[in-house]
Amino acid sequence: MATLNLPATTTPARQQDAVPTRKVIAGGIAGAAATILIFVLNTYLLPPDKPLTADIAAALTTLLSFIIAYFVPPAASDQVSAA
């Protein structure tokens, strides 16, 4: 397992409580929305003999979740601070 080597003066960010941050919530919602979108595509829009494969569906869900979570800034109430 890799270890994180930080300089002695650097401390990792720590969350103050266990409530999910806005970024985590946005990523979860994006993943659920992508799953629903893929279901709609496969059921109603794409030809029955050419649906999106599970591999492509998983990749799209992961990618959309990451992009949304990356661009959503943490809220002030998320209480993310240096430890």
3-state secondary structure of 55: helix
Per-residue confidence (pLDDT) for residue 58, from 0 to 100: 97
Q: Are 31 and 64 in contact (CB under 8 A)?
A: yes
pTM: 0.75
Residue 75: predicted pLDDT: 85
Is it the case that residue 39 has pLDDT exceeding 60?
yes
Helices within the chain (DSSP H only): 22-40, 54-71
Tokens linked to 18:
């266990």
What tens digit of pLDDT does each residue of 48-67 get? 999 999 999 999 999 999 99
For 19, other C-beta atoms within 10 Å of its C-beta total 11
> What does the alpha-carbon distance between residue 65 and residue 34 come to, in Å, rounded to a whole number?
8
| pLDDT exceeds 80 at position 10 | no
